[in-house]
Structure 1
Amino acid sequence: MRQIVLDTETTGLNPRTGDRVIEVGCVELHNRMLTGNNFHRYINPERDSEEGALAVHGLTTEFLRDKPKFAEIAQELREYIQGAEVIIHNAPFDLGFLNNEFKLLGLPTFTEHCSGVIDTLVNAKEMHPGKRNSLDALCDRYGVSNAHRKLHGALLDAELLADVYLSMTRGQNSLSMDVEDESAGSGGMLEAVALAEVIVLAASADELAEHESVLGGLDKAVKGNCIWRNYAEA
């Protein structure tokens, strides 16, 4: 299964009032393994960032001035995410901006290019109700180091979210952590269990003798056969 962990940075909070995407960062997972085939672009939004947004991402108008406009990277992004399942933290925010950018270019919406969307914020709230579920909070909870995260950055946040997502969903793995085929449903899980090596350690003669001695003491205490004799016979 091909999955893309995605994050964006924007000039503000609302695409309906003219705010634009200024950075897109994507990390590719194939069968839950990082491939290194990432996508990262800075984008000239042709407008200034709001003061609050600038304080979050630090991407100034001067820095973005010579970067490509969204129209120049749209086709590359479309090809990269085509048919993949996309993983986003607080998906409505990023999707709202990306769908708007595609709409401005007369293209099908961003979500129409994906096979599905996973919102890790929704998942985290279900798994940890009543707790903080920001990306930083999840990094702390799952032991993902974010010490180098001074400002928000789309690629950095996508990389952190990829680690968090894999930790959050670790229980979905089979007993064999090396088995990559998880798309076969319960059948694949049973196959993985069947392939797992089971090691049986038989009791030694001394251990069996000690066990019998313990059972004998229990028999004496109950003046008959203790209940463990039934299990031994079975």
Structure 2
Amino acid sequence: MARQIVLDTETTGIDPKKGHRLIEIGCIEIDDLLPTGRTFHHYFNPDRLIEPDAIRVHGITDEMVADKPRFSELSQAFIDFIGDAPLIAHNASFDRGFVNMELERLGLTATDPDRWIDTLEMARYKFPGMANSLDALCRRYNISLAERDKHGALLDARLLAGVYLELSGGKERGLDLTMHGAVSATGEAIIVMDYGPRPRALPSHIHPEEAEAHMAFCLKYLKDKNMWGYTAS
């Protein structure tokens, strides 16, 4: 599996068609389902007020972004970072709508819908009829939410990377998305992921009778080949 970008955004409201804008974007680069340590994370001045309902979700106030750069100042850095990689987001149509709106405002080419991978759709296919919010999926996959008081683009992208790995087949590679201090590709202080062993072993799904039957087969037919270390008594 090639390079992919896990992406999350925070905004002034819920509808870019009504003039709402990006105020934060967080991207994490993964390659072959492993974090590379490269991120793109910035806050933006939206040149408009943030709605109270949005502030209650992400905690970002007008004062916090008043001195931040406009998206236009970092648009090329964002485009360079994502390149032509697939973009992974939860409820991707929301993030895609805001990203494309910001690009189109600048006369830039919008991202193709076909390059977006929606983890919400993946989760609904895998868990039909169940709660499939990012929080619900983190709890289902035992991904810690201890650091998450409110939504934040980089933190949510990190959580989503763990969820995407599980939805894509689980932690065969022993990936543990732990955060450490580092410097991003754009020079900002950011948080980088590392990986380590699975914290606890997966339970066996083999019934004792199946295990006994398998051992009996090995002892009967393999004899001195002893491929699995069994010894005939």
- With normalisation by structure 1, the TM-score equals 0.74
Larger radius of gyration: 1
What does 1:28-177 correspond to in 2, within 5 Å? 28-111=29-112, 116-170=115-169, 177=173
1:203 Cα deviation after fit: 4.3
1:59-114 CA-to-partner distances (Å, cap 9, x unmatched) read: 111110010001001000000111101100000001001111111000000338xx
Residue 36 of structure 2 corresponds to residue 9 of structure 1: no
Partner of 1:201: 228
User: What's the RMSD between the two structures over aligned residues?
Assistant: 1.8
Partner of 1:188: none
1:117 Cα deviation after fit: 1.3
Distance 1:49 1:33 in 2: 35
Distance 1:66 1:5 in 2: 26
CA contact (8 A) 2:11 2:20 kept: yes
Percent of pairs identical after alignment?
A: 49
Pair 1:102–1:142, CA change in 2 (3 A)? same
Pair 1:202–1:43, CA change in 2 (3 A)? closer
Unmatched segments (≥5 aa) in structure 2: 175-225
Q: Secondary structure at the match of 1:150?
A: coil
Size of the aligned set, in residue pairs, is: 181
Distance 2:154 2:229 in 1: 52
1:112-165 CA-to-partner distances (Å, cap 9, x unmatched) read: 8xx721100000000000000000000000110011100100000000000111
Distance 1:17 1:48 in 2: 13
CA contact (8 A) 1:144 1:163 kept: yes
